[in-house]
Amino acid sequence: MKRYCRSPLVNRPWPSNLLFSFLLFSSAEAQNIVLKTGQTIEAKGVRRFGDMVMAEVLVGSRTGEVGYRGATISRIDFLPPPELKATEALLAQGEPEEALIAIAPVVSYQESFRDIPGNWWAQAALLKVSALSGMKLDKEAESLGEEIRRNTIDPDAARAIQLQFIPALLRQEEFERVLELCNDVIKQSTKAQVLAEAWVRKGDVFLARRQWVDALCAYLRVPVFYEQEKLWMPPALLGSARAYRGLEDGKGVGKSLNELASEFPKSPQAEVARIELKKLTHEKEP
């Protein structure tokens, strides 16, 4: 069997019911508020009240609120919301409605801190864009994408928004422009999710150009280096199967399709994989 890249299996995460836990305070664990003076305040929770960030702090044996103007804060060390990974898993399994329910409270809570470094608003909002797109609510997705572009202070989020334009560019066969965007992201980004998407999009260009080896190695960057990015595993596996087919490597085709169908059975790509597996079986019959 020809071997081009390694493609490990990925365990499917189980979805969970997510509660609206961010109404006033983020109460999962303590957060540090770092002031521009260098002072660090340990807060049990924070909320936004106009220009003030209200911190729930321990004073002696009691808790109380202390307010700090947003302009005096260097950053807030929010912990990564667990809903981000849960939402990615739901999107990967083709459940955009559940994904939207999961991520909406995080977007709502983090939005009031989007002008302060350390927030997770842009990352959460990008997942909401994906959920809206999956529900074919294109106008809402475009509107939120534009809001992210205008308001984010996260350069990786801005790059991720650039990648949202790639499907349209691919339909127009603007391959060089797509490669330029992808290479720019790969060179500058440090976020695994953004990098995984860029490699998938790059693979799409090579596949359209029938550059099978380049396409395969681009797609398999995802399971090899970004296996935790569940949202981009299904398109990467389907793309790798098609690249293997172009290389006339039937075993590689079958391996990628089986992995896709078994590990991400509810993803949109899995239905395609099942159809392709049936065709592969018929091709093997004498």
DSSP secondary structure of 205-252: HHHHTT-HHHHHHHHTHHHHH-TT-GGGHHHHHHHHHHHHHHTT-HHH
pLDDT value at position 18? 36
Cα 211–chain centre separation:
27
CA 148 from centroid of its chain's CA atoms:
14
The residues near 215 (Cβ < 8 Å, ≥ 6 apart) are 203, 204, 206, 207, 239, 242, 243, 246
Residue 21 confidence (pLDDT) = 37
Segment-wise mean pLDDT, segments of 10 residues, the chain, 286 residues: 38 36 43 92 91 88 89 93 91 88 96 93 91 84 86 82 78 90 91 92 95 97 92 94 95 93 88 86 61
CA–CA separation, 12 vs 231, rounded Å?
Answer: 11
Out of 2.60.120.1440, 3.30.450.20, 1.25.40.10, 3.30.565.10, the CATH code matching 154-286 is 1.25.40.10
Sorted by where each begins, the domain ranges of the chain are 31-76, 79-153, 154-286
The structure's pTM equals 0.68
Phi-psi group of 137: left, alpha or beta (phi > 0 → left; psi -120 to 50 → alpha; rest → beta): beta
> How far separated are the first and last CA of the chain, in Å rounded?
21
Which of these, 224, 180, 233, lies nearest to 202 by C-alpha position? 180
Cα distance between residue 284 and residue 96, in whole Å: 36
Q: Which two tokens stand for residue 114?
A: 């989007």
Residue 50's region, left for phi above 0, alpha for psi from -120 to 50, else beta, is left
Burial, 211: exposed, middle or buried (Cβ in 10 Å; 0-12, 13-18, 19+)?
A: middle
What is the C-alpha to C-alpha distance for residues 216 and 193, in angstroms, rounded to an integer? 19
Q: How far is CA 120 from the centre of its chain?
A: 12
Q: Which of 197, 19, 52 is nearest to 123 (CA)?
A: 197
Q: Rounded CA gap, 111 and 109, in Å? A: 6
Query: What does the pLDDT read at residue 220?
Result: 96
With vertex at residue 194, the alpha carbon angle to CA 160 and CA 219, rounded to the nearest 5 degrees, is: 125
